[in-house]
Chain A
Amino acid sequence: MTETFLYLIQQLINGLTIGSTYALIAIGYTMVYGIIGMINFAHGEIYMIGSYITFIVIAGLLGMGMVSLPIILIIALIVAVIIASTYGWTVERVAYRPLRGTNRLIPLISAIGMSIFLQNYVVLAQGSRDVALPPQISGGWTFGDPSVFEVSFSYMQALIWVVTFVAMTALTLFISRSRMGRACRACSEDLGMTNLLGIDTNRTIALTFIIGAALAAVAGLLLGLYYGVVNPFVGFIAGLKAFTAAVLGGIGSIPGAVLGGLILGVTEALTSAYFPSEYKDVVSFGLLVLILLFRPSGLLGKPEVEKV
């Protein structure tokens, strides 16, 4: 195998890794949009909070002398998911629900406000500097000829792939099979009708926020461990990327969010591999503009139909 080919494989691995975490965050945007038609701009902050909680829990458990890494990670995951979900639920309850039924722009402004609030709240509580965590998972597999180019697939990357895959499979099963998942789908098709069937749609909406926040917390844990560093501002850029992924794939569509996330991740990786890496955002947002020009509803989105 040639060097170019192996190099490409390496970039695809890196791209899919980042892309799958974008997808996890993007699902939160897309589900909320699908049900209540608003962009939850505070969603990136939930991801950031998930990362912080992961760091705090891992550092705390290590400090207490716990050595088993799998157990530490599982505890960190559970705690991060629970706390981030509580944040997601609270944000909806406090900042969005009272505004439901008003002009679309009003909850959007409230969301931006919530995003700024959460970011600064973390700055106050944790400081604005980078917080670093030593790599917890090192090593990996390598293949290819060492004299030409060695492709590495780290255990950390493998963990990201596996956890993302499990989380998405669980979500898909929940949405398609479970009673509450069906209610979520019914709400995203026709909220008023779902209400007319005696289903408390406020609860379904709250559940959507909780699911979105839980997935963002999973992404927070994975990316936190992957980069080994977090600061209060990581939510902004990750949120923007995930939002782009959701729009790229067709906002409102869960498979679209996944596809959009993966495409965005791979695009970024390939751009930084073959061009100066400063171009990666130019290319990925340029791609967004192109797709919106030719497919305004995104790759897998349904064109919006005026209801009469």
Chain B
Amino acid sequence: MLSIKNINTHYGPIQALHDVSVEVKQGEIVTLIGANGAGKTTLMMSICGDPQATSGTIQFDGEEITGQQTSSIMQKGLAIVPEGRRVFSGMTVEENLFMGAYHRDRREAEMTAEHVLALFPRLRERYSQRAGTMSGGEQQMLAIGRAMMSKPRMILLDEPSLGLAPIIIQQIFDIIEKLREEGVTIFLVEQNANQALRIADRGYVLENGRVIMEDTGAALLVNEDVRKAYLGG
């Protein structure tokens, strides 16, 4: 479904990604793990065309999306839950959700919103509250809900567990699995490697902008090097 081949991405003179290739098949949960600064977020954002990869190709659903504008890439059935959530803090929960369904018919979007609120009852309680006044966990739920609002076939999640309490993290991972059951393909970037690999079909390890390992989630979980570097022994 998503096929990234040999992309290189630069920030000015600094090269952040070197010949990265990643494949995500329909219906899979694929996890990308790596340390801080390894280039995980850069890879996510390169898929969205912000920044553009300087070379290599990215295909989504068989269509070449490399070099296209971010706003048109994000209309093709792809949605992102970005690093740091980036909810619109001055807008209400309702307004945030419907920003995710900007190009959809309001009535159809209402139905999706109903589905999101069923998954995240907390958001229903806070429906008319401004997003900036909510807790980190609630904002993360909102960011996921907003991504769901466009009815995407694939969701990119960038460190959804960052800075959240363990009980909330568990809820977030449950939701991710639920999304997959609904047929949404998931590409997940995480530092919380343990939990992320546990729900993943396959995983990639990124180090200094290069993919150094690729295997099934289960195999990576027991891999000696991965255990040492990312799972605390």
Interface residues of A (CB under 8 A from B): 179, 182-183, 185-186, 189-190, 192-201, 308
Known: A193-B86, A199-B71. 15 other contacts (CB 8 A): A179-B102, A183-B102, A189-B91, A193-B88, A195-B71, A195-B74, A196-B70, A196-B80, A197-B146, A198-B72, A198-B73, A198-B74, A199-B102, A200-B71, A201-B71
Interface residues of B (CB under 8 A from A): 48, 50, 69-75, 79-80, 82, 84, 86, 88-91, 95, 98-100, 102-103, 146, 150
Residues on B with beta carbons closer than 8 Å to the beta carbon of A193: 82, 86, 88
| Nearest chain A CB to B80 CB, angstrom units | 5
Chain B residue nearest in CB terms to A189: B88
Q: Are B48 and A186 within 8 A (Cβ)?
A: no
Residues on B with beta carbons closer than 8 Å to the beta carbon of A185: 88, 90-91, 95
| Nearest chain B CB to A203 CB, angstrom units | 9
Expressed in whole angstroms, the Cα–Cα distance for A149 and B74 within the complex equals 66
Q: Are B90 and A197 within 8 A (Cβ)?
A: no
Expressed in whole angstroms, the Cα–Cα distance for A195 and B86 within the complex equals 12
Q: Are B95 and A182 within 8 A (Cβ)?
A: yes
Residues on B with beta carbons closer than 8 Å to the beta carbon of A194: 99
| Nearest chain B CB to A204 CB, angstrom units | 10
Chain A residue nearest in CB terms to B102: A199
Expressed in whole angstroms, the Cα–Cα distance for A23 and B86 within the complex equals 31
- Name which of A186, A197, A308 has the most chain B CB atoms within 10 A of its CB: A197
Expressed in whole angstroms, the Cα–Cα distance for A265 and B84 within the complex equals 43
Q: Are B89 and A197 within 8 A (Cβ)?
A: no
- Given A179-B102, A182-B98, is A197 in contact with B91 using a C-beta cutoff of 8 Å? no
Sampled A-B contacts (9; CB under 8 Å): A185-B88, A195-B71, A196-B48, A196-B80, A197-B74, A197-B100, A198-B74, A198-B75, A198-B150
Report which of A196, A199, A201 forms a contact with B82, defined as CB distance below 8 A. A196
Chain B residue nearest in CB terms to A308: B84
Residues on B with beta carbons closer than 8 Å to the beta carbon of A199: 71, 99, 102-103
Residues on B with beta carbons closer than 8 Å to the beta carbon of A190: 86, 88
- Name which of B70, B80, B95 has the most chain A CB atoms within 10 A of its CB: B70
How many pairs, one residue from A and one from B, have CB atoms within 8 Å of each other in the complex? 61
Residues on A with beta carbons closer than 8 Å to the beta carbon of B70: 195-196
Q: Are B82 and A186 within 8 A (Cβ)?
A: no
Q: Are B102 and A197 within 8 A (Cβ)?
A: yes
Expressed in whole angstroms, the Cα–Cα distance for A201 and B99 within the complex equals 13
Q: Are B71 and A198 within 8 A (Cβ)?
A: yes
Expressed in whole angstroms, the Cα–Cα distance for A196 and B50 within the complex equals 9
Residues on B with beta carbons closer than 8 Å to the beta carbon of A195: 50, 70-71, 74
- Given A197-B100, A198-B150, is A182 in contact with B71 using a C-beta cutoff of 8 Å? no
| Nearest chain A CB to B84 CB, angstrom units | 8
Q: Are A198 and B82 within 8 A (Cβ)?
A: no
Residues on B with beta carbons closer than 8 Å to the beta carbon of A308: 84
Expressed in whole angstroms, the Cα–Cα distance for A306 and B80 within the complex equals 23
Expressed in whole angstroms, the Cα–Cα distance for A179 and B102 within the complex equals 8
Residues on A with beta carbons closer than 8 Å to the beta carbon of B86: 190, 192-193, 196
Residues on B with beta carbons closer than 8 Å to the beta carbon of A192: 50, 86
Report which of A179, A189, A197, A200 forms a contact with B150, defined as CB distance below 8 A. A197
| Nearest chain B CB to A176 CB, angstrom units | 9
Expressed in whole angstroms, the Cα–Cα distance for A301 and B50 within the complex equals 29
Residues on B with beta carbons closer than 8 Å to the beta carbon of A201: 71
Q: Are A186 and B99 within 8 A (Cβ)?
A: yes
Q: Are A183 and B99 within 8 A (Cβ)?
A: yes
- Name which of B79, B89, B99, B150 has the most chain A CB atoms within 10 A of its CB: B99
Residues on B with beta carbons closer than 8 Å to the beta carbon of A182: 91, 95, 98-99
| Nearest chain B CB to A187 CB, angstrom units | 10
Expressed in whole angstroms, the Cα–Cα distance for A190 and B89 within the complex equals 10
Expressed in whole angstroms, the Cα–Cα distance for A175 and B73 within the complex equals 26
Expressed in whole angstroms, the Cα–Cα distance for A189 and B85 within the complex equals 13
Expressed in whole angstroms, the Cα–Cα distance for A199 and B102 within the complex equals 7
Expressed in whole angstroms, the Cα–Cα distance for A198 and B84 within the complex equals 19
- Given A194-B99, A201-B71, is A189 in contact with B50 using a C-beta cutoff of 8 Å? no
Expressed in whole angstroms, the Cα–Cα distance for A206 and B79 within the complex equals 25
Expressed in whole angstroms, the Cα–Cα distance for A301 and B91 within the complex equals 17
Expressed in whole angstroms, the Cα–Cα distance for A200 and B75 within the complex equals 10
Chain A residue nearest in CB terms to B76: A198
Chain B residue nearest in CB terms to A185: B91
Expressed in whole angstroms, the Cα–Cα distance for A182 and B106 within the complex equals 14
- Name which of A186, A190, A194, A196 has the most chain B CB atoms within 10 A of its CB: A196
